[in-house]
Structure 1
Amino acid sequence: MEIETATQAFSALSQGARLATLKMLIKAGPRGASAGEIAEAMKTPPPTMSFHLKELERSGLVHARKEGRRVIYSADYGGVRELIDFLLADCCGGDRRLCGPYVVIKESA
């Protein structure tokens, strides 16, 4: 992940409603939730939640898909993992005793 991409993701997550929404979608699993369900759960007006969801989608942390007339959002687990890997790539100098399973091992091409 490039630093510009990571910066965009962190910018999206710097707003409390977006961070809470991402956590909700991670918990929901791959099935996700509709925009209306998310807005209701977050006690946020639908237009405001739509804005937040678009920001999360633009940052690569959330996917949107159409199911009939509804838009279903789900966490982009690959994007979330890339962000975590970006943060921990140089963790503890690669010493697994300190960082556990979070150390990123880059395979040689």
Structure 2
Amino acid sequence: MDIEIIAKALKELGHPTRLAIFKRLVKAGEQGISVGSVQEELVIPGSTLSHHISGLASAGLIKQRREGRTLFCVVEYDKLLAVISFLQDECCIDELN
């Protein structure tokens, strides 16, 4: 994966509030969680939460789906695994040489 894409993902996760939101979304699993539930659990003002969710979505770390009037956020697990894999890919390779 392109280093610029990985850097953007890590940049978004580098903010404490976004990291807390993302961690909560990971905990929710593949069904996701409503934005309202995240707001209640993490006690984040709506406009602030919207801003941070937008950042996570623009980095491709989450997707959103609407069910009626409720907006759900779901982690893009393929992207998360790609970021983790990028960090692990060359682990300890110098020790083998």
Normalised by the length of structure 1, the TM-score is 0.82
CA deviations 1:72-100 (Å, max 9, x no partner) are: 001111110000011111111198xxxxx
Q: Is the 8 A contact 1:34 1:73 kept in 2?
A: yes
5+ unaligned residues in a row in structure 1: which ranges? Answer: 96-109
The secondary structure found in structure 1 opposite 2:44 is coil
Q: Is 1:90 the equivalent of 2:90?
A: yes
The secondary structure found in structure 2 opposite 1:65 is strand
CA deviations 1:31-62 (Å, max 9, x no partner) are: 11111111111110011001101110111111
Q: CA deviation at 1:19?
A: 0.5
Q: Return the index of the structure with the highest Cα Rg.
A: 1
CA distance in 1, matches of 2:59, 2:23: 15
Between the aligned residues of both structures, percent identity stands at 36
Aligned partner of 2:70 in structure 1 is 70
Letter in 2 for 1:75: V
Normalised by the length of structure 2, the TM-score is 0.92
What is the alpha-carbon root mean square deviation over aligned residues?
1.4
Q: Which structure is richer in relative contact order (CA contacts within 8 A, separation 6 or more)?
A: 2
- Inter-CA distance 94–63: structure 2 relative to 1 (3 Å threshold): farther
Q: Is the 8 A contact 1:61 1:76 kept in 2?
A: yes
Q: CA deviation at 1:71?
A: 1.1
The secondary structure found in structure 1 opposite 2:92 is helix
Aligned partner of 1:26 in structure 2 is 26
Aligned partner of 2:14 in structure 1 is 14
CA distance in 2, matches of 1:88, 1:7: 15
May I ask how many residue pairs the two structures share in their alignment?
95
